[in-house]
Every structure is written in structure tokens, then in C-alpha cells.
């Protein structure tokens, strides 16, 4: 048995999937016209210092940051985004790919008149953050990735054993939230299909390009990540000059939900250093 970030006695945290709390009230939110779609964003602590953009993982929405936003907005201007096709954002006609989603974030920054921001990315969000740090280094202050691979070699051939109930809960919750938030509530299957095609070929970031990342970077992962090999995170951290590897104990791919206090501590150690 173990104790969660909030003191409740639980089983192994990596076998749990806590629901995030509701987001605090945003200073502003809207749908930005970028790359032929409408991209949802929300801004918290608009007058805060050093903007931070939070990028979520696949199949979910920015609402997954419900634990992190209240902690982070105490010290930073915080922007959350629903990636194209996710949450409240439209999918558009172009095939999903990480370069396109990175371009969406860049155009959102232009729309919000943000010259430079730090990126905190979870899973797919971290991949998008790496692409931004590679292609638009002058726009990225610091980079924090959690559970993000840089190419297909990072995937485990078979996910490590986990509670199948958690996997089923994730999919059920993802579909329910999609139907609640999406402008096309009947298209969850289409999003799954689009992501499946994306995951069969990407990410495919080249080591030579990754070595060009200049932003102070943390590569973080859960001790029991179910999908990505532990050695892959180490390889990635060693490719980026002066990057730091942080392993959050007793959590899996859902670390920001499973141990929000531990996750925030790792984020704050980078952003506020």
C-alpha cells in the first residue's frame, strides 16, 4: 500500500486514474483561428510572469490539467490548449501530424501576442514541445516533457502489466468527455482512427535535430510508464545538451493525475530555477 499526494491510502499509484478537478475560472478563453481550424485556449493569471503553455496527451483535452493549473498559476501566466481534434477544438481536413500541431501552438502564440513561452507537455504534448524547441528555439523559454518519446523505437513491444480496469476507465472517460466538449460529438471514432495512423509513423525526431535544442529541458517520466521504455527516456535526456532526467516514483503514464504534487514539484524546479 502507498499514500497518495493528498494523503489517502491507496494501492500502487500507477494503477489508479484519479479524475482531475474542475478547472479554475479562466481570465479569458476562446477559439483561435489557426491553420484552418478553431483551436480552443484558456488563459489563467493573465498578468502573471513568464508564460507557460500546457499541452495534453492523445484522446483527452486540456481539462486533464485540472490539478496542475491551480498550482502553476500562483507564479506564472498559464495557457492551456485543446490540440486539434481534441476537446473543444475542431479537427480540420488535414491529416493529424505533430508538425501541424506544433504549428497550431505557434499560431496561437501569435494570436495571443506571446513572444516566448515555456512548454510543459504530457505524452503527445511533450513531442509537440520538442518540435517547437527544435524549429522555433527563439519562441521557447524552457521545456518540460513527461512520458514523451522521440521515435517509434521508444515504444514497448507489449505494454507492461497494468490494471485493465484503468485502461477501460481511461477510454470510457475520454469518450464521455469528448462527447461533452467537442463541436463534433459523434466523431470520437474518427479521432481514434486519426491518432492510430499518426502513431504508426510518428514521432520521428532525428538525434541530430534533438541535439540542437537549446532551451533548458527536463525529460520526465513515471517509474512504471506502461508504454515507453525506461532506457528511451534516458537516451532522450542524453541527446539534449544539459537536459535533466527526472523519474517520478510510483506513477505511470498518468503521473500528473496520479501524483500531482510530485509532478508539480518537478515542473516548478525547472520553471522557477
pLDDT digits (tens, 9 = 90+) for 21-71: 999 999 999 999 999 999 999 999 999 999 999 999 999 999 999 999 999
pLDDT digits (tens, 9 = 90+) for 172-208: 999 999 999 999 999 999 999 999 999 999 999 999 9
pLDDT digits (tens, 9 = 90+) for 122-148: 999 999 999 999 999 999 999 999 999
Closest CA to 20 of 57, 84, 86, 69: 69
Domains and CATH numbers, the chain: 15-271 (3.40.50.1820)
Q: Tell me how far apart the alpha carbons of residues 64 and 52 are, in angstroms, rounded to a whole number.
A: 16
Q: Which one has a higher pLDDT value, 271 or 2?
A: 271
Per-residue pLDDT averaged across 103-108, rounded?
98
Specify the pLDDT at position 5: 42
Specify the pLDDT at position 163: 58
The pTM score is 0.95
199 φ, ψ to 5°?
A: -70, -15
Amino acid at each position: 500500500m502507498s499514500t497518495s499526494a493528498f494523503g489517502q491510502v491507496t494501492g500502487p499509484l500507477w494503477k489508479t486514474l484519479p479524475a482531475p478537478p474542475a478547472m479554475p475560472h479562466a481570465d479569458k478563453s476562446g477559439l483561435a483561428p489557426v491553420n484552418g481550424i478553431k483551436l480552443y485556449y484558456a488563459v489563467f493569471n493573465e498578468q502573471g510572469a513568464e508564460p507557460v503553455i500546457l499541452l495534453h496527451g492523445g484522446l483527452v483535452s486540456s481539462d486533464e490539467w485540472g490539478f496542475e493549473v491551480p498550482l502553476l498559476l500562483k507564479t506564472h501566466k498559464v495557457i492551456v490548449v485543446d490540440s486539434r481534434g481534441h476537446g473543444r477544438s475542431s479537427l480540420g481536413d488535414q491529416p493529424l501530424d505533430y508538425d501541424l500541431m506544433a504549428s497550431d501552438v505557434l499560431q496561437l502564440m501569435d494570436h495571443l501576442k506571446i513572444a516566448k513561452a515555456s512548454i510543459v507537455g504530457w505524452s503527445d504534448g511533450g513531442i509537440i514541445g520538442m518540435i517547437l524547441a527544435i524549429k522555433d528555439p527563439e519562441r521557447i523559454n524552457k521545456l518540460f516533457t513527461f512520458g514523451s518519446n522521440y521515435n517509434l523505437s521508444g515504444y514497448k513491444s507489449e505494454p507492461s502489466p497494468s490494471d485493465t480496469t484503468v485502461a477501460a476507465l481511461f477510454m470510457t472517460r475520454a469518450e464521455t468527455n469528448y462527447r461533452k466538449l467537442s463541436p463534433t460529438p459523434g466523431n470520437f471514432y474518427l479521432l481514434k482512427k486519426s491518432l492510430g495512423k499518426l502513431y504508426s509513423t510518428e514521432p520521428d525526431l532525428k538525434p541530430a535535430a534533438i541535439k540542437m535544442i537549446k532551451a533548458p529541458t527536463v525529460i520526465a517520466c513515471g517509474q512504471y510508464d506502461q508504454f515507453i521504455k525506461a532506457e528511451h527516456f534516458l537516451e532522450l535526456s542524453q541527446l539534449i545538451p544539459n537536459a535533466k532526467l527526472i523519474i517520478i516514483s510510483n506513477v505511470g503514464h498518468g503521473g500528473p493525475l496520479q501524483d500531482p504534487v510530485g509532478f508539480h514539484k518537478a515542473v516548478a524546479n525547472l520553471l522557477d530555477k
